[in-house]
Amino acid sequence: MSGKFITIEGIEGAGKSTCMAFLRQRIEQRGLAVVETREPGGTPLGEDLRALLLGHKHQGMSAEAELLLMFAARAEHLQQRIKPALARGDWVLCDRFTDATYAYQGAGRTLSAERVAQIEDWVQGPLRPDITLLLDIPVELGLERAGKRSAPDRFEAESLGFFRAVRQAYLDIAAAQPERVKRVDASLGLEQVQAQLAGFIDPLLAVAG
Ligand code: Z5A
């Protein structure tokens, strides 16, 4: 596999969608092919699972079912899109991946990280992102930015305490895996956020030629 696998993480309203567009443009400027995708989702089955996971129809879904559905969508995504793209040498830009599972289902829903790790190993084998950009923002600011949009989905309707636990879990992952996970201060203005992203991504692009 010669393509790079880049994931973007962060709480609600951290600016992931906004930054995906910037990153895509920066990679494509170097003449490299980019597959832009998201989780849960990215395939027809994954998008159907996303609708079940984010919608309000199954409001009381168990944490275990939620965890397994996230990984079901991921298994399909890996087989149908991510691995074929990397094998072609494309760069994969993914809005959320397994760090979100540790943060939301692990810390948020209080499932054990060991359980998440077992399923991660089973579904992904050794595959991990080459780099993960963690857009870190105080919970209140993220929710304020996100709140300017449409009606909340099943996750967006969670409490402040839930999102604080999610943010802390992301910071813990970044502290534990500094080689892979790069913290970006997403509370700053867009230009400053993009400058930080460029600082992390440009060295990878330089190596790619
Ligand atoms: N989930 C999970 O539980 N477990 C898993 O394993 C996975 C996911 C993979 C998917 O939601 C949900 O699934 C997610 C976790 C769960 N739920 N939550 N929470 P998603 O990722 O599709 O959507 P989201 O988290 O709700 O993302 P978002 O709300 O779309 O936020 P965003 O993409 O990070 O932000 P944005 O749309 O780019 O920006 C928000 C607003 O801020 C917008 O108006 C921008 O113009 C503005 N913005 C962006 N950057 C800036 C700066 N720097 N300054 C000022 N304003 C800015």
pLDDT truncated to tens, each residue of the chain (209 aa)?
478 999 999 999 999 999 999 999 999 999 999 999 999 999 999 999 999 999 999 999 999 999 999 999 999 999 999 999 999 999 999 999 999 999 999 999 999 999 999 999 999 999 999 999 999 999 999 999 988 667 788 998 899 999 999 999 999 999 999 999 999 999 999 999 999 999 999 999 998 86
Q: 68 φ, ψ to 5°?
A: -70, -35
Pocket of ligand 1 (CB under 6 A): 10, 12-18, 39-40, 54, 70, 95-96, 100-101, 104-105, 145-146, 148, 155-156, 189-190, 193
Start-to-end Cα distance in the chain = 16
Q: How far is the CA of 11 from the centre of ligand 1 (A)?
A: 6
What's domain 5-34+82-208's superfamily in CATH?
P-loop containing nucleotide triphosphate hydrolases (3.40.50.300)
Distance, CA of 124 to chain centre:
15
Give the strands of the sheet with 5-10, arranged side by side: 34-38, 91-95, 5-10, 131-136, 181-185
- The torsion defined by the Cα of 155, 161, 165 and 166, in degrees rounded to 10, comes to 20
Q: For the chain, which residues make up each domain, given as ranges?
A: 5-34+82-208
Name the helix (H) or strand (E) containing 172: helix 160-176
Taking the CA of residue 97 as reference, the ligand 1 atom at the shortest distance is: 9
Q: Is the distance from CB of 177 to CB of 128 less than 8 angstroms? A: no
How confident is the model over 117-133, as pLDDT tens digits?
999 999 999 999 999 99
**155: alpha, beta or left, given left = phi > 0 and alpha = psi -120 to 50?**
alpha
Instruction: Classify each residue of 176-190 as buried b or exposed e, where b means 16 or more C-beta atoms within 10 Å of its C-beta.
Output: eeeeebbbbebbeee
The residue whose CA is least distant from atom 23 of ligand 1 is 12
Q: Which of 9, 17, 54 to mutate to test the pocket of ligand 1 (most atoms within 8 A of CB)?
A: 17
